[in-house]
Amino acid sequence: MTKYLRAGISYRGTQRFERFPVPEAALREALINAIAHKDYASGVPIQISVYDDKLMMWNPGQLPPDWSLDRLLAKHSSQPANPDIANTFFRAGKVESWGRGIDLIRKTCLEQGYQSPRFNCDSTGFWIDFVFPKAPLENAEPRGAEGTGKTIVETAQETAQETAQERILESLRKRPSMTRRELAEKMGLSEDGIKYHLNKLKLAGIIRHVGSTKAGHWEVLT
């Protein structure tokens, strides 16, 4: 799936790292969802389009009757369009739990410092748009390498989160009054992604918010 994506490459010592503009785990989960929910009576294949700024995945399937996009994005029960296919993925260990595919895609993107994908459903089918980061991906996710203790992949994911949080701290030191929207625009992340990192920093005791939501400001405590 990643052969049409251009990876950012960096080095740590002699170790070569590659980081794609879409998390591989999120892309894999999106494809599994598309296969499990596809309308096979249509005879139309799942379509993946790669552009300079995004990857779009389209599935000729529909939401369950009376479902809205808001319900899909909230916590919901699992109602796969093709239960036998979904059960096969589950038995093969490709599905961790029922009804969490969309949440897992979003969580994976946000935890690795990417923007949350956009979802849309119309009369033709279901879309997922993975928007590529505007800023260069400096910390690469390695492929095919083994680590000791924590895997190199886990380390790279943690490094990506740390880098995003360091950039947030640098911005808040320069202008404590910055809003989530302003931080999102500057860093090329979604507001949900910025909220995720701000909450992490607050829980760690690194920052705090003083004053009201609109008129307050941030204090960097370290």
The pLDDT of residue 76 is 64
pLDDT for 115 beyond 50: yes
Residue bearing the bigger pLDDT, 48 or 159: 48
The pLDDT of residue 172 is 92
Residue 116 · residue 128 · CB < 8 Å: no
CATH 1.10.10.10 location in the chain: 152-220
Annotate 5-18 with b (16+ C-beta within 10 A) or e (fewer).
beebebeeeeeebb
The pLDDT of residue 146 is 39
The pLDDT of residue 3 is 66
The mean pLDDT value for 1-18 works out to: 69
Angle at 190 between CA 132 and CA 169, to 5 degrees: 105
CA distances from 188 to 9, 13, 193, 208 (A): 19, 28, 10, 23
pLDDT for 178 beyond 80: yes
Digit-coded pLDDT (tens) for 130-155:
999 875 554 444 444 433 333 433 44
pLDDT for 128 beyond 90: yes
Residue bearing the bigger pLDDT, 98 or 49: 49
The pLDDT of residue 144 is 40
Confidence category of residue 97, pLDDT binned at 50, 70, 90:
low
114 phi and psi angles, rounded to 5 deg: -95, 165
Tokens encoding 25: 């785990």
The pLDDT of residue 58 is 93
Any bridge partners for residue 56, and if so which? 49, 129
For 22-131, CATH gives: 3.30.565.60
The pLDDT of residue 197 is 85
Fold for domain 152-220?
Arc Repressor Mutant, subunit A (1.10.10)
pLDDT for 52 beyond 60: yes
| Distance of alpha carbon 152 from alpha carbon 13, whole angstroms | 13
Residue bearing the bigger pLDDT, 210 or 186: 210
